[in-house]
Amino acid sequence: MSDTLSAEILTSHILDLAHSGKRVDGRGPDDYRPVRIEPGFVASADGSALVHLGDTKVLAGVKLEPGKPFPDTPNAGVLTTNAELVPLSSPMFEPGPPTPTAIEVSRVVDRAIRAAETIDLTKLCITPGEKTWVCYVDLHVLDHGGNLIDAALLAGVSALAHTTQPLVRFGLGAADVPLEVDHFPIECTFVRLGDTIVVDPTVDEERAGQGRLTIATDEVGRIVAMQKGRVGAFSPDDVKELVDRAFRHGDRLRSLARGGGTGA
């Protein structure tokens, strides 16, 4: 049902509820929506995962193919992350070249994967300076029910964790081998609703929000990426508190990204 209502009274209601620690869908400020991950959803990809985050659905597909390394990193593989916010997924999205929103999702997810050293790019090198694996992580948004960044990274990391290097297809080996994943970054997004800061916003909450903050953490306790977005502001103390919250959610979501399955 695409009756996306941008009524002011919805925003006021969301802010009123938040003031007393409540949310329209019955969650508390620190409740994440239920998450379900289906690894291996797409057989044509070398790795894939469909993430359901509440009403949000993002499908990630990983493709590996031999290519040329960048001249400045002759011993490293190439990693490319791309998010498609296709118009199928929301009445707000239109056909055409990637919008700034789509580019932001791509880049924030890419930064987390890269900074967490999710995959060791030097292991993707085939012949130094000449030939390396190029790893494409394509994120396809299917249903935009809010919080695309978290869902997209969950899908991307989960897909990487279930990726096989297609050595046979490219005549580079006798058998395919699993892609080694060293770290599991998890992104956790918050929006400010008045004096309350809620995790995992819906579309309506994003619209009502007075600033958004995304914090990516990994399993060894590092903060690996952040992004403040939309109009609004956070104090340094807010940020410190949100980092703690991001680690708590991250630890729980990480086990799902590794294994697939369901969690609330």
Which residues form the interface with another protein (CB under 8 A)?
1-13, 16-17, 20, 22, 24, 26, 41-45, 48, 50, 52, 55, 57, 59, 61-63, 65, 82, 84, 86-91, 94-95, 97, 136, 138, 140, 142-145, 169
Name the token pair of 47. Answer: 């790795």
When the beta carbons of 5 and 264 are compared against another protein, the nearer one is 5
Q: How far is the CB of 48 from another protein (least distance, A)?
A: 7
When the beta carbons of 32 and 247 are compared against another protein, the nearer one is 32
Half-sphere exposure of 247 (CA within 13 A, CB side): 10
When the beta carbons of 97 and 100 are compared against another protein, the nearer one is 97
Q: How far is the CB of 232 from another protein (least distance, A)?
A: 18
Residue type, 39: P
Name the token pair of 117. Answer: 């050293």
When the beta carbons of 52 and 183 are compared against another protein, the nearer one is 52
Q: How many CB atoms lie within 10 A of CB 178?
A: 11
Q: How far is the CB of 160 from another protein (least distance, A)?
A: 13
16: left (phi over 0), alpha (psi -120 to 50) or beta: alpha
Query: For residue 108, what are the β-bridge partners?
Result: none
Do residues 240 and 190 lie in contact, with contact meaning Cβ atoms separated by under 8 Å?
no
Do residues 135 and 61 lie in contact, with contact meaning Cβ atoms separated by under 8 Å?
no
Q: How far is the CB of 222 from another protein (least distance, A)?
A: 29
The whole-angstrom separation of Cα 187 and Cα 152 is 9
The whole-angstrom separation of Cα 132 and Cα 68 is 6
Q: How far is the CB of 179 from another protein (least distance, A)?
A: 14
Q: How far is the CB of 238 from another protein (least distance, A)?
A: 25
Could you give the dihedral angle defined by the CA atoms of residues 138, 182, 224 and 154, in that order, rounded to the nearest 10 degrees?
40
When the beta carbons of 9 and 175 are compared against another protein, the nearer one is 9
Query: For residue 187, what are the β-bridge partners?
Result: 216
When the beta carbons of 44 and 235 are compared against another protein, the nearer one is 44
